Chains A and B, each alone.
Chain A
Amino acid sequence: MNRRIWRRTRSGLMVGLVGLAVVLALVPLGLILGHLLVKGAGSLDWAFFTRGPAPTGVEGGGVVHAIVGTLIIVGVASLMGLPVGIAAGIYCAEYPGTRLATATRFVADVMNGTPSIVVGVFAWTWIVAPQKHFSAFAGSVALAFLMVPMVLRTTEEMIKLVPHSLREAALALGYPRWRTSLAVVVRTTLPGIVTGSLLAVARIAGETAPLLFTALGSQFLSTRIDQPMAALPLVVFNYAIGPFEEWHRLAWATALVLILVVLVLSVAARIATRGRFTLRG
């Protein structure tokens, strides 16, 4: 009897500790979101989303230039990074034993751990410096470099989840190897690959360091990819370190928009995974 009570007490204690850890993990997220809402939500109005920046010292103004800029820079980066990452991930999963796959996997892991500012320096050295001017394209290249290893690894992991029996079933029907890979294996994991891609997009949308000396930032609404361009993280950075109260207000609001964009992408990734994504019957 005594032992049972002791066991229950211990169990309750452990559950309590684990629950406490969960709460501790959630506290920073709650604090950040709450703080952003308090400081930034008040500044979100129609002008914020439709106007460019106001002249220094003037109240109001918006970040439409940065919203458009982020969409373009991240879009171009995705066009370059996603196909390469997905294709390389398929290769690594389908030909796991080959030397190229092993090397690719190693490089991807190293790149995953590379600080993003280093990637920015790299893009500056190879694109900005030779061209002698900053450009949104250089920023996209830097972000694409960050995307490739992330997408590669998630794609590979997703494909590895496909049961071997499914592959065999396709081969036994007379499917050539490449059709088995595409029509059955990749097709089955498509929702997972989409999820991985969306998460990678969300991840790089918030990157600031690689854009600092590539896209640079701009005060004007621009769609020219060979010229400097504004982006949401850059706006946050520049406004936050600026001396004006008005800038700080805009920085908070921009940060809120940025985190909402990331949140929407993550939720979209969740929805893409749900429902039809079942590997076993």
Chain B
Amino acid sequence: MTAVAPAFRIPPATTPATPSRTVLETERLTAMYGKVTALANVSLRFDANRVHALIGPSGCGKSTFLRTLNRMHELAEGGWITGRVLLDGEDVYAPRVNPMQLRKRVGMVFQKPTPFPTMSIYDNVAAGLRVDRGRAARVGLDETVERALRSAALWDEVKDRLRTSALGLSGGQQQRLCIARTIAPRPEVILLDEPTASLDPLGTQRIEELLFRLKEAFTIVIVTHNLQQAARVSDTTTFFYLGQMVETGPTRQIYTAPTEARTEAYITGRFG
């Protein structure tokens, strides 16, 4: 048996040479569930207008890490952290930070499409805008909803049935609707937790294409089980294993010349 080569295309050097400002940063971040450590001592930087992929086998802590970034982790039973998460240089865990306000700046899309079942397509997209603005949100709401749906590449498919139930959409459409709902309040960062895990190949492809366009306006962090997907869509890749951050770097480098043996073993499919 010869060494197993990656069975997929090595990504081109997509990362632009131009430097970019750091939007989101973690410093010695440790995430706990009660007394159990899910993730230890992670320091990472996420630059603006890039797609950052988090990869690793199940249970490696990558989803937990993602959830610490918008403070969803602390909603889980016994969830707490040490270390810092900085958004534009400010600690999001500082006492004066309101998690609700933070989550409007750091949006999140989940593994399964989660349209609100009682709301129309339009109301789903508007949901995030109506949270704290109430009636004031009406001003320019139509335009904002349309812009969000266009950005999510869904407008043409739903423009004639905005007032119908969101449950009438296909799985892939529902997921793009969730993306539209997330970007409508114009967050700075979008977190995606395995957004294509429940979609068919075509739906997956459309989401991936979407990420390329979205990174022009947002900073994107995506957790994925799918190594090919990380290779296709991301500019930087971080490999997690057993609650540790093993390696991080430009995606091309992680895939072609990883410095850690564990990274190489995982990338080439020897475990995980």
Q: A and B, one complex?
A: yes
Interface residues of A (CB under 8 A from B): 163, 165-166, 168-176, 179, 184, 187-188, 190, 276, 278-281
A169, B100: Cβ atoms closer than 8 Å: no
A173, B182: Cβ atoms closer than 8 Å: yes
A contact residues around B70 at 8 Å (CB): 172
Which residue of chain B has the shortest Cβ distance to A169 in the bound complex? B114
A173, B128: Cβ atoms closer than 8 Å: yes
- Which 3 A-B pairs rank lowest in CB-CB distance, beginning with the nearest? A169-B114, A172-B108, A174-B104
Docked pose: A165 CA to B167 CA in angstroms: 15
Main secondary structure of the interface of A (DSSP, over half): helix
Residue B248 at the A interface, CB < 8 A?
no
Docked pose: A179 CA to B72 CA in angstroms: 16
Which residue of chain A has the shortest Cβ distance to B117 in the bound complex? A188
Given contacts A163-B114, A173-B185, 9 further A-B contacts (CB under 8 A): A165-B111, A168-B110, A171-B72, A172-B108, A173-B131, A175-B131, A184-B116, A281-B113, A281-B166
B contact residues around A169 at 8 Å (CB): 110, 114, 116, 178
Docked pose: A176 CA to B108 CA in angstroms: 15
B116, A165: Cβ atoms closer than 8 Å: no
Question: In the assembled complex, how far is the CB of residue B256 from the closest CB belonging to chain A, in whole angstroms?
Answer: 35
Docked pose: A276 CA to B117 CA in angstroms: 9
A174, B112: Cβ atoms closer than 8 Å: no
A174, B114: Cβ atoms closer than 8 Å: no
Docked pose: A227 CA to B193 CA in angstroms: 63
For chain B, the count of residues having a C-beta within 8 Å of the partner chain is 32
Docked pose: A188 CA to B118 CA in angstroms: 6
Question: In the assembled complex, how far is the CB of residue B114 from the closest CB belonging to chain A, in whole angstroms?
Answer: 4
B113, A174: Cβ atoms closer than 8 Å: no
Docked pose: A19 CA to B140 CA in angstroms: 61
> B111-143: contact bitstring with A at CB < 8 Å (1 yes, 0 no)?
111111110000000011001100000000000
B contact residues around A280 at 8 Å (CB): 117
B108, A174: Cβ atoms closer than 8 Å: no
A contact residues around B104 at 8 Å (CB): 173-174
B118, A168: Cβ atoms closer than 8 Å: no
B100, A176: Cβ atoms closer than 8 Å: yes
Docked pose: A281 CA to B127 CA in angstroms: 18
12 A-B pairs, CB-CB below 8 angstroms?
Answer: A165-B110, A168-B72, A171-B75, A172-B103, A172-B107, A172-B108, A172-B182, A173-B103, A173-B131, A173-B185, A176-B131, A190-B118
Docked pose: A171 CA to B107 CA in angstroms: 10
Given A188-B117, A281-B113 in contact, is the A173-B127 Cβ separation under 8 Å? yes
B112, A165: Cβ atoms closer than 8 Å: yes
Question: In the assembled complex, how far is the CB of residue A132 from the closest CB belonging to chain B, in whole angstroms?
Answer: 50
Which residue of chain A has the shortest Cβ distance to B77 in the bound complex? A97
Contact of B101 (CB < 8 Å), options: A166, A174, A179, A184 = A174
Docked pose: A190 CA to B117 CA in angstroms: 12
Given A173-B182, A175-B131, A176-B100 in contact, is the A279-B107 Cβ separation under 8 Å? no
